[in-house]
Chain A
Amino acid sequence: MNKYKKITLDGLLFQNPTLMLVLGTCPTLGLISSASSAAGMGLTVVVILTLSNMLISLFRKVIPNEVRIPCYIVIIATLVTFARMLLEKFVPDLYESLGGFLALIVVNCIILGRAEAFANKHNVLESAVDGLANGFGFTAALTVMGIVCEFLGKGSIFGAKIMDFKIGIFATPAGSFIIFGLSIAVFVYVMDLFAKKKRVKENKLSRETLLNREAA
């Protein structure tokens, strides 16, 4: 498989940071009660994660191993502060709705995790693709859960009223926790099915190849 395709699929599906690795749970639980906040947080993380991955990859040979974590934190914190400035200036509503979670991106496990696990071992392009894939994986998971939570908890989707019926708990972090758990269960189940199907297909292929060889 093409390595960029593998990096992309890993970030989006097989190693999805939210649903498979259960990283970044703090903003997930805090923000999925509103789909627009969830999507906004996701997109902010995409930008910060991609840039931090690229910068860390670019400077990986210059940064001594002993101080790599403090250096990563400073780089990530700078990007987060810059993102906060941009959002406050140009998208003030989103800036307000993300509240304290925006500043907490600095200590988001996904960003530091990708820096440590991927960016400091790969080149800039690969790191950028990894950042984008993981960022969009995070965004997609948050947005889908946000839509479900908002629909159940407030009867709306992205702020647009759909129905009057609502279940109050889903507008709170407790409801978010329930939806988060269920989403993980469903996602892991589907990925398991997919992996099983893939294994069966591969086994079938290798058996056929073996039989063909024997017949020949």
Chain B
Amino acid sequence: MTVKGFFKSTAFKCIITLLAILLVCGVFLTVANGFLQVSEEERFDRAIKKLYGKDVTVERIEDLSDQKTSFDYSDILEAYKVTDDGNYLIKAEGKEGFGGTVTCWVVVETGDGENGAKVVTGVKKIAIEKASGESYIGNVTEDALNRLAELAAPGKEIEGGYKHGSREDGDDKIPTGASFSMRAISNCVNGAMEFTQNYLAGIVPPDFYPDNGFIYLDLINKDETSYVNNDGVVTYSITTMGYKQAGAFVLTIEVGETDGVAAINSVTLVTSGSTAERYNENMYDVSNYNGKYLQYFTDMLGEDLACPERNSGKDISTGATYSNYNIAYACAFALANYQKCLEIPFEGGNA
């Protein structure tokens, strides 16, 4: 084809037409975005209106660097003190939604404690700001959020939807048809309350496990994991974080030394995080881990302990891969940190 022929061809016409449409649409959307973009300030005002129904005076807590803002299931993004009522307005991002995270504004109520110091007394109101990837977020009604706020009490971790593998309705569960999203929202609330409690108490809680150099913590719920050292035999009580559809598992793992290397003595499944009975049936027999070294797990999952493909042919690909992965990860955590547990006595949890 000659150059002249190309310029007269249908192919050229197609390219030009597509480019022209793309250009016009692109310019149109750029201009529209300039006019319609919702600024951070506007978002904040909307949140205040949703929560209070009127304008209130707030004071931003600018420096959060000396506070713990990252929790196992949520991160604190912004914090404000509401000067009108003395409560705290926390913007938190809850993990473990269906397709990602849910960002919420939580009004944490405060009151006077026993010695006159301010303490968290509950949650006044919750508003969703962003829920990218949560298709059923529309099912989370105002009523459900209000009920969640009512359930929130200091020291009590609330479970919105199902968190530990249960879909049953109950006093502390709120079925909405958007269980995963509710789980992320309840994580926001738990995080906001914990943050405010720490902030009011003026304490900066230590991160026990990471601060002491423990490794393989990504899938470990550090707040609910402990260990005991009995003359060189370490017994862990581990709660995992859950992985994808599989919820949190609670395990008791005993690790001792065989030929100078840490090896598993026994693994006991206390609570299964599987979301369906068929996954429980398909799960890899945990007694097979007895006598296994860390090398076995790193050979299977790699040095970074990544979850293998579901049909990878690895030992844990049994039709309940995500559930098995929780357990294998916990075993690897127990083995990798055995020496640390011998050196550092457990001091009452992460926070």
Residues of A within 8 A of B (CB): 30-31, 33-34, 37, 62-64, 66-67, 70-71, 74-75, 77-78, 81-82, 85-86, 88-89, 92, 96-101, 153-154, 159, 168, 171-173
- B21 to A71, Cβ gap below 8 A? yes
Bound-state CA distance A64–B18 (Å) is 9
Q: B215 at interface (Cβ–Cβ under 8 A)?
A: no
**Interface size range on B against A:** 20 to 34
A-B contact count (CB 8 A): 82
CB proximity of B159 to chain A, nearest CB, Å: 18
Q: Is the interface of A mostly helix, strand, loop or mixed?
A: helix
- B36 to A67, Cβ gap below 8 A? no
- B33 to A99, Cβ gap below 8 A? no
Q: Which residues of A contact B132 (CB under 8 A)?
A: 100
- A71 to B18, Cβ gap below 8 A? yes
Bound-state CA distance A142–B169 (Å) is 28
Bound-state CA distance A38–B32 (Å) is 26
- B133 to A33, Cβ gap below 8 A? no
Binary contact readout B181-195 vs A (1 if CB under 8 angstroms, 0 otherwise): 000000000000000
The 10 closest A-B pairs by CB, nearest first: A97-B138, A78-B25, A85-B36, A172-B177, A100-B135, A67-B14, A89-B36, A37-B138, A99-B137, A171-B177
> Chain A residue with minimal CB distance to B24?
A78
Bound-state CA distance A171–B141 (Å) is 11
Q: Which of A62, A82, A153, A173 contacts B29 (CB 8 A)?
A: A82
Contacts A64-B10, A74-B25, A78-B29 hold; do A99 and B36 have CB atoms under 8 A apart?
no
CB proximity of B15 to chain A, nearest CB, Å: 8
Bound-state CA distance A157–B194 (Å) is 37
Q: B139 at interface (Cβ–Cβ under 8 A)?
A: yes
Q: Which residues of B contact A33 (CB under 8 A)?
A: 138-139, 177
Q: Which of A92, A97, A100, A171 contacts B133 (CB 8 A)?
A: A100
Q: Which of B13, B36, B135, B175 contacts A64 (CB 8 A)?
A: B13
Bound-state CA distance A82–B26 (Å) is 11
Q: Which of B207-260 contact A (CB under 8 A)?
A: none
Q: Which residues of B contact A154 (CB under 8 A)?
A: 141
Q: Which of B17, B32, B36, B177 contacts A71 (CB 8 A)?
A: B17
- B18 to A85, Cβ gap below 8 A? no
Q: B46 at interface (Cβ–Cβ under 8 A)?
A: yes
Further pairs besides A67-B17, A67-B18: 8, Cβ < 8 Å: A31-B138, A33-B139, A71-B18, A77-B25, A98-B138, A99-B131, A168-B175, A173-B136
> Chain B residue with minimal CB distance to A161?
B143
- A100 to B36, Cβ gap below 8 A? no
- A99 to B177, Cβ gap below 8 A? no
Q: Which residues of A contact B33 (CB under 8 A)?
A: 85
- B13 to A75, Cβ gap below 8 A? no
Bound-state CA distance A77–B169 (Å) is 40
- A100 to B134, Cβ gap below 8 A? yes
Q: Which residues of A contact B131 (CB under 8 A)?
A: 96, 99
Bound-state CA distance A86–B13 (Å) is 33
